[in-house]
Structure formats: C-alpha cells, structure tokens
Amino acid sequence: MSDAPTARPGDRPKEAAIPTLGSDESGTVVWHREHLRVRDHPAVAAAAADADHLLPVFVFDPSFYGDTGLACDARIGFLHDCLTDLNGQYRAVADAGLTLAHGDPTEVLGRFRDAGWEIVAAEVPTGRYGLERDRRAHAACSVSFVDGDGLVRGVNRPRDGWSDRVEAWLTDDQYTWDPDSVSVHAIDTDVTIERVEAAYGVEPAKSNVPEGGTTAARRKRAAFVDRIRAYPGNISAPADARGGTSGLSPYLKFGCLSVRQVYQYVVANAPACRGTDMFVSRLFWNKHYEQKLEDWPGWLDSAVNPVLEGFNADRRDEELIAAWKAGETGYPMVDASMRCLAETGWLNFRMRALCASFYYHLLQQPWQEGADWYHHHLVDSVASINYTQWQSQCGLVGKPTLRRYNPRKQVRDQDPEGAFVREWVPELEPLPDAYLDRPERTPLPVQAECGVAIGETYPHPIVDYDAARNEFEERYAAVRADAADALGRPDVADRASLSGGRDAATRIARKHGRDSDDAAEQSRLDAFGEE
C-alpha cells in the first residue's frame, strides 16, 4: 500500500484519528474480516444503500500474531496479499483505498462508534476466538452483522428445506452497489502491512504458498475451468492433487471470491462433464459445513455425540502426538503428508482424512489437538470444514459405520511409484518401490545396499498397525450401541445434521441402538470399513 517506516520487532503501529460525522450525515464503516472483496458482498451493498459515507476498514488483531498467535505465518502472509488486493479493488471502483488499523477490534471500532459511525460486517460462522470477538463487537460497538450467505439463522429447524434455499441463493443475483451513490473514504494512518509484519516478525517459511487476493483467485478459477475434465482423476493421489484440484480453497476461506461467484462462473463457463458436476457438488458441501457450524458452534470443542465425548482423552501420549506432527511415525504416507502440511500449508482431502484417521484410530489420541494442528497450519483452513471433518473422520457423530484409512494401502493405491513419499521423506528415496508401504520389512541386505537403515535413518512404526486397529475397534464397538441410541435424541440429531435429518437419526437409533437386533453384532471387526 504505502511505504512503511522502519519498525523494530515489538513495535505496535498507532491507530488513526477518527473523523466525526455531522448530525445531518450518515456514515457506515464496513468492517472486513474474511470477506476480502468488494463485489457480491452483503455488508458493502447494505452500507452503500443506506449511508451517505462508506469507510472500509481492516483491523490487524494482535491475537493472530506472534509465537502464540492463532494462525501460521503463511496464512498471515496470504491474508496480507489479500489486503493489498482489496485496497486496489476499492481504489479501482471508488478512488479511495482500505483503511488499516491495529489493536483489539472492539477498541478500534469503538472509536468509530463514538465519532458517530455505524458499523456493519458480513455475518459468517467462525471459530472460537472469532465467535467471541464478534459477540463483543456487537455488544460494545453495536456492530450490525449482515447475513446474505445462503445460510439459515434464527429458526428451530434450519435444515428444513435447506438445500432448496441454498440452491436458490447460489443461482440468485449477486449483491451489487453503485460507488457513485455513496462517498467512499479512506483514512491515512501509520498502520501498514509492512509495519505490522516488522513489528510481529512475520516471515512466512512455508513453500509453494499461492499469492492471495481476488485478482489471483480469478486467474485460478479461469485456469481450473480449462482443465476441469481431468478433475475427478486428480483429487486422490497427493502428487497429482496440487496441480489437479481447483486451488481455490484459500481464496474461498478469505472470501476473495464468494462461493456464489465461483459457482456461477463454473456453471457459465465449464463444459458439461463429470468434473464440473463433482466440483459444483463440493461448493454445495462448502455451504453444508458452514450451516453445521452455524447451527451448533460446539463442533470445535465437543463431540457431536455425547456418548463419545472424551473418547481417547485418557490415552494422550505426548511422544505419539509429537511424532505425528513431525512426520516421524514410521508410516511413510502419513509422514510425507504431515511434512507436506507443515512445509506448504496444504494437503489434499484424502491425505487430510488419512492422517486424521491414523491419529485418532491408530495412535488413539484426543481429536481436538490434531484438529487444532491442522487449523493452525492449513492456509485454507475454515473452522466450519476443518472441525466438522475431523469429527466425521474420527467417527464422533456416532453413525453405525466407521471409515478408517490404511496408511500402507494408501501408498499402494495413491503413490505406487513413490513420487510423493520420496519427495517428502527423502531418507527413503533409495528404497525400492516394493518396500515403500512397509519399510520395516525391507531385508537387511537391501537396506545395506541402498543405504537405508530402518530404526536409524527412518523410524520403525511407532505403533503396531494390527494391534492398534484391533484395540481401537474393540473400544469403539463397546460404545457404538449407546452412541446410536443418543442419535435418537432430537438435540443430538439436529447437531449431527445427517442428510436424512431427524428421521435418519431415529432410524439409526432403532436399528443399531442398545435394544436393537443388531446390537449384538456391533463388535464384529468387519463392521469397520477400511480404505
């Protein structure tokens, strides 16, 4: 944005003086948090329609920065790209850029309120801190949160007719506003991206992180449509997924484009094919997970099914968790995936599911810590998707089927030539393909010949696969019937948000609950699905 003065680490940029509005003037601050765009923005459109003056603001929140911050430096760097682009968007349409401030958002916004400004922001399901921050901002600063994201709020049964309403929203006209109808303002401040990065020592270390912003998002969108026919075949194998998936997830996370903008562009420009159908369905799923978190914020901290609350909690093992985070488990596909996550801030869905399943079903560790690790490192992490998917993959909903991933099978199926494993676990690079799924079984003469010493250059498996799998299955089977019974409760059924609603949950309770005919079969090992 503007040249920044030199700043020492620890410096805190000062906030700007806020102009006071006259009694006959109406002015509205648009508080940008994640909707980092000017088009199809419900709060911008609402402010422009009702006010004489519009002032877009972003507040750098200290809670997200530093060693104990809520986001990794790569996600912060991506955010900063988005802000630079947003500033350019406002200058392009109104010749006035984005105002930057720094500090506790409630304190910053309070200054605008005291100066006579109304404050609006786009309503969005958010995580622990964001939820509390927004509540404080509403209570202390009278911030008005404008919905318009296709979600249902303020009703007892939000899922009734939900899919039809979401489809209507996706196909409806986008929000528009006329920059000539409102005076757009910006305040010169000494708060700049450069000063904030210097003050907090922001030095993104991850590699292959894309450039943020709406301009880059549009390029990604157009390029993906050109290759969308190949999409179905490129989403599972991790070596193919980085270049084969859309690459739009971090842009949707920060709202550089709305889900609706992506949907309408794809429908209008993509060829009729299976890839288009699959991708469009995933945009519906994006809204589905947002609705889940909107319905029940407890997804982030509490098991959906109360019977499974605290499952694995008493088995927490610091060494097992540390090995999983570091990619030192002795299971090559897990290790490659976890190292890729830490280095790049991205991982394709199948590998995210694999590593979550390994953590919960084999290491048998409490799920929240694993989910929080993902949320910190993933540049594209959205609370509504990350935490609901963790609970689903772990089996905390309490459905009768449990989906587990076999890390050895995933090497054979998704990386048979070892390209991904060798890239991220270079100590295994000389190992013949035949042993990449189970390096510990490599004959000693082969180890000596290729210079790989299992137990020295690469660890033995930190848990025995068969023993850990069987132990978990026995433990889980002991509570499955009770968990099925719990799904019959309306409150649990509603938060679980099964595709068939309460009726589906009731059927599960009747068929698989403690008093059902199937209850005696719950402990059978073949009842657990494996991929």
The per-residue pLDDT for range 256-298, each reduced to its tens digit, is 999 999 999 999 999 999 999 999 999 999 999 999 999 999 9
Phi and psi torsions of 146, nearest 5°: -100, 120
Q: Which residues of 130-145 are buried (b: 16+ CB within 10 A; e: fewer)?
A: beebbebbeeebebbb
The per-residue pLDDT for range 69-97, each reduced to its tens digit, is 889 999 999 999 999 999 999 999 998 99
Tokens of 170: 């996706």
Q: 19 pLDDT band (50/70/90 cuts)?
A: confident
Same domain, 352 and 498: yes
Report how far residue 223's alpha carbon sits from residue 243's, in angstroms, rounded to the nearest whole number: 11
Residue 7 belongs to a domain: no
C-alpha separations of 92 from 79, 179, 184, 219, 249 in Å: 20, 10, 12, 18, 25
Same domain, 71 and 168: yes
Q: What is the DSSP letter of 359?
A: I
Q: 531 pLDDT band (50/70/90 cuts)?
A: confident
Residue 11 belongs to a domain: no
Same domain, 61 and 151: yes
Same domain, 291 and 310: no
Report how far residue 420's alpha carbon sits from residue 236's, in angstroms, rounded to the nearest whole number: 12
Same domain, 434 and 334: yes
Q: Which stretch of DSSP H or E encloses residue 477?
A: helix 465-486
Residue 521 belongs to a domain: yes
Residue 1 belongs to a domain: no
- Strand-pairing partners, residue 145, are 121
Residue 472 belongs to a domain: yes
CB atoms within 10 A of CB 176: 12
Residue 410's CATH number:
1.10.579.10
Same domain, 310 and 291: no
Total domains in the chain come to 3
Residue where a domain stops, chosen among 254, 273, 295: 295
Residue 264's CATH number:
1.25.40.80
pLDDT value at position 148? 94
CB atoms within 10 A of CB 507: 15
Q: 20 pLDDT band (50/70/90 cuts)?
A: confident
Question: What residues contact residue 371 under an 8 Å CB cut-off, 6+ apart?
Answer: 300, 356, 386, 387, 390
What's the farthest any 2 CA atoms get from each other in the chain? Answer: 87
User: What is the Cα 133 distance to its own chain's centre?
Assistant: 19
Tokens of 301: 């901290």
Strand locations in 137-194, DSSP E? 144-146, 183-184
pLDDT value at position 345? 97
Pairing of strands 27-32, 118-122: parallel
Report how far residue 169's alpha carbon sits from residue 439's, in angstroms, rounded to the nearest whole number: 51
Same domain, 289 and 312: no
Report how far residue 240's alpha carbon sits from residue 79's, in angstroms, rounded to the nearest whole number: 26
* Angle CA 33–123–54, to nearest 5: 65
- The per-residue DSSP string of 72-87 comes to -HHHHHHHHHHHHHHH
Residue 186 belongs to a domain: no
Mean pLDDT of the chain: 93
Report how far residue 509's alpha carbon sits from residue 323's, in angstroms, rounded to the nearest whole number: 38
Q: 9 pLDDT band (50/70/90 cuts)?
A: low
Same domain, 466 and 329: yes
Report how far residue 476's alpha carbon sits from residue 211's, in angstroms, rounded to the nearest whole number: 43
Residue 378 belongs to a domain: yes
Q: What is the DSSP letter of 175?
A: P
- Pick from 36, 27, 50, 25: nearest CA to 185: 27
Residue 259 belongs to a domain: yes
Residue where a domain stops, chosen among 244, 276, 295: 295
The per-residue pLDDT for range 454-475, each reduced to its tens digit, is 999 999 999 999 999 999 999 9
Same domain, 414 and 336: yes
Task: Return the SS3 of 483.
Answer: helix
Residue where a domain stops, chosen among 274, 295, 316: 295
CB atoms within 10 A of CB 401: 9
pLDDT value at position 12? 64
Tokens of 268: 């209008």
- Pick from 305, 302, 301, 311: nearest CA to 484: 305
* Res 348 pLDDT > 90: yes
Q: Please compute the mean of the pLDDT values over residues 503-507 and round it to a whole number.
A: 91
Q: What is the DSSP letter of 124?
A: -
Tokens of 128: 């622990």
Same domain, 67 and 159: yes
Q: Please compute the mean of the pLDDT values over residues 38-56 and round it to a whole number.
A: 97
Residue 147's CATH number:
3.40.50.620
One-letter-per-residue 3-state SS of 218-269 = HHHHHHHHHCHHHHHHHCCCHHHHHHHCCCCHHHHHCCCCCHHHHHHHHHHH
* Res 6 pLDDT > 60: no
Domain residue limits at 137: 27-178
* Res 116 pLDDT > 70: yes
Same domain, 285 and 313: no
Q: What is the DSSP letter of 458?
A: B
Tokens of 88: 């350019």
Of the ranges 22-26, 326-330, 419-423, which one carries the lowest mean pLDDT score?
A: 22-26
pTM of the shown model: 0.94
- The per-residue DSSP string of 15-27 comes to PPPPPPPPTT--E
Same domain, 353 and 402: yes
CB atoms within 10 A of CB 156: 6
Count, residues in the chain: 531
Task: Calculate Rg over the CA atoms of the chain.
Answer: 25
